[in-house]
Amino acid sequence: MKYTLLLLVAFGLLLGLPQAQAQTDYEYIIVCGGPTLMKWEKWKAPVFQRDLWWMNFIRAARIRIQQLEEQGVPNTKITWFVYQPSYLSRSREEGKDLVSIITSVRDAYKVNLKFFSRTQQLLDYLNNGKPRSQVKIADFEYFGHSNKACFLFDYSNSIDSASKVWLHENELARLNPGIFARNAFAKSWGCHTGESMSQQFRRVTGVPMWGAVGKSQYQTHDLPTLASPTGRWRY
């Protein structure tokens, strides 16, 4: 009997019968940078003022989270990163606890909210936050300030019209290979990303990242749009 079973197993392997395989799971990651401070913005000409509404990026992320859930993505698979220091400093200006408002969005949509204060925390999670051989990143989206080469997490918050915490396109090489799913979707909803950073993202990860050529404009009740009729989305 023992030899008969061994022969059957061997025969099955020769015929190429299906074998048990580890099932791939997926994660959807949304990242929010922080708003500017009004102590600097209020003195600028209206055309140059940013983030008069502190919730620009948070509202856009909430809209996108809702879209993903309506498309059938389980809320347990959505991880939401928020750059916390900027919201703490803007809280002091606004005279209210903005972080608790952000956590109320988390509670309403039951997503995995992670606050971060350093770029390395985000990179570490992308690489190792889950076992990437089993849980691939199927979606990566950024809402926040940016230029053609950087995500600017704290733009005009620590320093007027500058950033102390960013993700530069040259730092994308610190991402591990194979962390993204085949046919993953990536998009930066900030300004100018499509002019350089999108192409570097694709070279490093193999995943096209849509980005704006020109400026983007954040909406109250919709996802960001292009700010100029001459702008376009590209990767």
Q: Give 102-136 pLDDT, tens digit per residue.
A: 999 999 999 999 999 999 999 999 999 999 999 99
Q: What does the mean pLDDT of the chain come to? A: 91
Chain centroid to CA 178: how far? 17
pTM beyond 0.75: the answer is yes
Cα-Cα end-to-end distance for the chain = 61
pLDDT at 2 over 80: no
Chain length of the chain: 235
Query: Per residue in 43-89, pLDDT tens?
Result: 888 878 899 999 999 999 999 999 999 999 999 999 999 999 999 99
Place of tokens 């990026």: 57
Single-letter amino acid code for the residue at 45 = A
Evaluated on CA atoms 36, 96, 82, 24, the torsion sign reads: negative
pLDDT at 19 over 60: no
How is residue 87 written in tokens? 């919201």
Angle between helices 98-109 and 56-70 (to 10 degrees): 0
Band of pLDDT at residue 22, cut at 50, 70 and 90: low
Q: Where are the beta strands (DSSP E) in 132-219?
A: 135-143, 145-146, 150-152, 166-168, 180-188, 209-213, 216-217
Domains by residue range for the chain, with CATH? 23-234 (3.40.50)
Evaluate whether 214 touches 232 at the Cβ level (below 8 Å): yes
H runs (alpha helix) in the chain: 2-15, 38-41, 56-70, 84-94, 98-109, 119-128, 197-205
Q: Which residues contact 180 (CB under 8 A, 6 or more apart)?
A: 136, 137, 138, 140, 186, 205, 206, 207
pLDDT at 215 over 50: yes
Given this model, what pLDDT does residue 49 score?
Answer: 87
The DSSP bridge pattern shows strands 166-168 and 150-152 to be antiparallel
Band of pLDDT at residue 175, cut at 50, 70 and 90: very high
Single-letter amino acid code for the residue at 29 = I
Q: What distance in Å separates the CA atoms of residue 198 and residue 147, rounded to the nearest whole number?
A: 11
